[in-house]
Amino acid sequence: MWLKVFSIAVLALFTGTCASNMDKYEGYNKYTVFHDGEDAFNYMVELQTESTELDFWLLTRNMSIVTVSPKEQNAFESRLTELNAQYVAKPLMEEMSAYNETLPTCDGAECTLKRTRRQARGFFSHFPRYSEILNYMSALAARHPQNCRYESLGRSYEGRHLAALSISLNSRGRDRRVAYIQAATHGREWITPLTVLYLANELLNNLRAFQRVLQDVEIYLVPLVNPDGYEYSFTSDRFWRKNRHRYASRSCFGVDINRNFPNNWNYHGASQNLCSEVYSGTGPNSEPETAAVARYLEYNRHRVKLSLDVHSFGKYLFYPYGYSRNAVAPTRNLLHSVAQRAANQIAKYRGTHYTIGTSAGLLYEASGGLDDYAYGNLGIPMSFTVELPGENFQVAPSDIIHVCKETFAGFIEFIRHVSLY
């Protein structure tokens, strides 16, 4: 009887907390908009950079997914009708209710009590919070001290560690080529750090099988580049994108880290409206998170041969340049070839098909991303952005492991090319 009462109490707490990070979205609609005309596409691009009442989840040349507040829905629908853009609207809360069971209410060790039996089967069957991720990383390094180093790349605006793992066959060896991989640049993209941690887990527990891949290569992983935004998306706002930079006497918070790197900063697809989802900050590298990544890459620029920035969602593999449709990378053919080989390996697992190209060509022009900065400013020869599969920012618990496994195959193919430099 006591156990039954305890279980009901935990479930009530779980459900209540799940609701808290969705409270502000009551009455919001999720729109899937189909826009073949250039006028409609340009309208969507303008909204993406300037509107504070719309949140773009996906914006391509002919289709967008966007959430709209109740007070803007009538005007938005009227304008779409004027532009002959077809759309499907669905209440956002209705769609997300199917995923409520996947929203953790706990942090760190507390999760052991509150996680269901099905979720407790493994680390890759639920979405871990910041402390649980750091504990997992620390444990990996402790179990593999000769091959893994756990360290902090720096601290976030709110003081959280930008935790990193360095993996190599022999940690005391000579300087190696580096494959740098980061994730969770946007707080709401919960699946991304798990794919990076799965890579670390598989490599460290199967070192002999991956000796050829790791030969003379150091893999440097930063699963949570935006830990503040990540935590805030659990506790307060499920769809929080930016970091949590606070500005005196201003009601809006945060900078989009994915618009804050120095390459063509604030050129296209970014905004100087602090309330915008793509606010680019007060200047290049203005954010502690961006600055920490830039310091590491600049210091190791002659060793780093691969930069991967893992995002969600859309099933895309992007390479430079993303800031302009007219900018062409000198080694475009090589970049496309490497991305295609990675996509082919991903597809072997369950047929997931990735689209390959520049974000400017396939989606829209956006400046200040890591891929353009690593390639254009630092000369890192292979620089890519990965947009994982999904229909929104939530992945069913049963699908987490499958996304991790198929992405792992792509990661290994990318890393395999590091030995060529």
Both structure tokens of 386? 């990965």
How would you write the chain as a 3-class SS string?
CHHHHHHHHHHHHHHHHHHHCCHHHCCCEEEEEECCCHHHHHHHHHHHHHCCCEEEEEECCCEEEEEECHHHHHHHHHHHHHCCCEEEEEEHHHHHHCCHHHCCCCCHHHHHHHCCCCHHHCHHHCCCCHHHHHHHHHHHHHHCCCCEEEEEEEECCCCCEEEEEEECCCCCCCCCEEEEEEECCCCCCCHHHHHHHHHHHHHHHCCCCCHHHHCCEEEEEECCCCHHHHHHHHHCCCCCCCCCCCCCCCCCCCCCHHHCCCCCCCCCCCECCCCCCCECCCCCCCCHHHHHHHHHHHHCCCCEEEEEEEEECCCEEECCCCCCCCCCCCCHHHHHHHHHHHHHHHHHHHCCCCEEECHHHHCCCCCCCHHHHHHHHCCCCEEEEEEECCCCCCCCHHHHHHHHHHHHHHHHHHHHHHHHC
Pick the catalytic residue from 132, 287, 365, 387: 387
- Residue 53 appears among annotated catalytic residues: no
Report the DSSP beta bridge partners of residue 271.
Answer: 279
Task: Fill in the amino acid letter for 56.
Answer: F
Q: In angstroms, rounded to a whole number, what is the distance separating the alpha carbons of residues 146 and 390?
A: 37
* Catalytic positions: 387
